[in-house]
């Protein structure tokens, strides 16, 4: 053991994914693998507390586009196409029209997307990096750089005016900041079990959110699994963005890699931790409220099986 070559944690992660995801994805895995090993593509979340129009203009001059509004327009075009096609089939007496009419009666995409969130990305295939954010005259930074996919759980929350929102595993703060961009929260609780990570969350809030608006955010360092001891059946929307294998990080970085041999037991216990956090999120939600569960992993054990 003393003389055996040390296998890097990232290599161990990739070996694990080749074995498990190879079975899970089959013929699609080589393509997914290339994506996983590609350089991370960042998005620029526009800070609504800065000059939004000015920031948006500057980003558009770089040939970046707001993927949230682009996706919305695409969804609207697809739905309009379905409506037209259903009408044409109805005129021709098609037996499939009942199902298509039902699809056409779904709520418009605009009703399913949280407003006010703008996140700019460069075109497909372009991995140009945005420059560091700059403060405005009030000292507020103009945008926050994050993995663009991190916006999706916040959009799925579909926050409504006056909603009480809980971000159960909030640090380092990108999703918390995105939640604030909606301008709809009646109250926002941002929690993370790690005190050091909670300090990072607080730094993000201090850099991006005016003081008077920060006063509406309650930041705590509590074990999310025990949230019911603080309060239960309180929140209209709960985001449970759980600790996970963080697949891209695991195959790209050695620092803080959960595939380090010393962390094998921690890694094996992840699904149980995730389940406990999800249950805590459900217990924190008012009857009729909504919970969004999200990970940075492709693993069915950490996603579908936890939900089941």
pLDDT of residue 186: 92
Write the CA distances from 218 to 122, 190, 266, integer angstroms: 34, 6, 29
Please indicate if the annotation marks 169 as binding a ligand: yes
Q: Length of the chain, please?
A: 308
Please indicate if the annotation marks 8 as binding a ligand: no
Which domains, ranges and CATH numbers included, belong to the chain?
40-82+114-306 (3.40.50.150)
Write the CA distances from 65 to 75, 83, 220, integer angstroms: 16, 28, 35
Please indicate if the annotation marks 192 as binding a ligand: yes
Write the CA distances from 267 to 84, 167, 169, integer angstroms: 50, 23, 17
Long-range contacts formed by 106-114: CB under 8 A, 24+ apart: 106/79, 108/76, 108/79, 109/72, 109/75, 109/76, 109/79, 110/72, 110/76, 112/158, 113/68, 113/72, 113/155, 113/158, 114/154, 114/155, 114/157, 114/158, 114/159, 114/182, 114/184
Kind and range of the H or E run holding 252? helix 247-252
Q: Report how far residue 49's alpha carbon sits from residue 141's, in angstroms, rounded to the nearest whole number.
A: 9
First to last CA, the chain: 40
Q: Report how far residue 107's alpha carbon sits from residue 124's, in angstroms, rounded to the nearest whole number.
A: 29
| Residue 282: strand pairing partners | none
- For residues 209 and 49, the answer to whether their CB atoms sit within 8 Å is yes
Nearest residue to 217 (alpha-carbon basis) of 197, 235, 191, 243: 191
Q: What is the pLDDT along the chain (308 residues), one digit of tens a residue?
A: 565 558 899 999 999 999 999 999 999 999 999 999 998 889 999 999 999 999 999 999 999 999 999 888 888 888 777 666 666 666 666 555 445 444 445 555 555 555 689 999 999 888 889 999 999 888 999 999 999 899 999 999 999 999 999 999 999 999 999 999 999 999 999 999 999 999 999 999 999 999 999 988 999 999 999 999 998 999 999 999 999 999 999 999 999 999 999 999 999 999 999 999 999 999 999 999 999 999 999 999 999 999 99
Please indicate if the annotation marks 43 as binding a ligand: no
Residue that is written with structure tokens 């959009």 in the block: 155
Please indicate if the annotation marks 223 as binding a ligand: yes
Cβ contacts of residue 33 below 8 Å, gap of 6+? 17, 18, 21
The residues that are catalytic are 296
- For residues 270 and 243, the answer to whether their CB atoms sit within 8 Å is yes
Please indicate if the annotation marks 247 as binding a ligand: no
């Amino acid at each position: 053991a003393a003389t055996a070559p040390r296998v890097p944690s990232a290599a161990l992660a990739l070996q694990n994914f080749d074995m498990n995801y190879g079975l899970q994805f089959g013929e699609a895995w080589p393509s997914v693998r290339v994506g996983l090993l590609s350089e991370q593509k960042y998005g620029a979340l526009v800070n609504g507390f800065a000059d939004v129009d000015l920031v948006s203009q500057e980003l558009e001059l770089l040939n970046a586009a707001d993927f949230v509004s682009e996706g919305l327009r695409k969804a609207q075009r697809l739905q309009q196409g379905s409506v037209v096609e259903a009408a044409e089939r109805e005129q021709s007496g098609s037996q499939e029209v009942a199902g298509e009419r039902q699809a056409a009666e779904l709520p418009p995409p605009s009703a399913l997307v949280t407003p006010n969130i703008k996140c700019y990305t460069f075109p497909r295939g372009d991995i140009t990096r945005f420059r560091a954010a700059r403060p405005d005259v009030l000292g507020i930074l103009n945008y926050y750089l994050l993995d663009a996919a991190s916006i999706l759980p916040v959009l799925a929350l579909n926050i409504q005016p006056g909603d009480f929102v809980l971000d159960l595993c909030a640090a380092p703060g990108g999703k918390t900041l995105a939640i604030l961009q909606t301008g709809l929260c009646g109250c926002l609780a941002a929690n993370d079990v790690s005190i050091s990570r909670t300090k990072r969350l607080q730094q993000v809030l201090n850099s991006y959110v005016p003081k008077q608006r920060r006063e509406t955010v309650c930041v705590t360092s509590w074990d999310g699994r025990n949230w019911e001891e603080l309060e239960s059946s309180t929140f209209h929307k709960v985001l449970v963005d759980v600790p996970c294998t963080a697949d891209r990080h695991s195959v790209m970085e050695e620092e803080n890699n959960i595939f380090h041999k010393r962390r094998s037991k921690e890694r094996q216990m992840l699904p149980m931790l995730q389940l406990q956090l999800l249950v805590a999120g459900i217990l924190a939600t008012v009857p009729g409220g909504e919970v969004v569960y999200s990970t940075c992993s492709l693993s069915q054990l950490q996603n579908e099986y936890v939900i089941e």
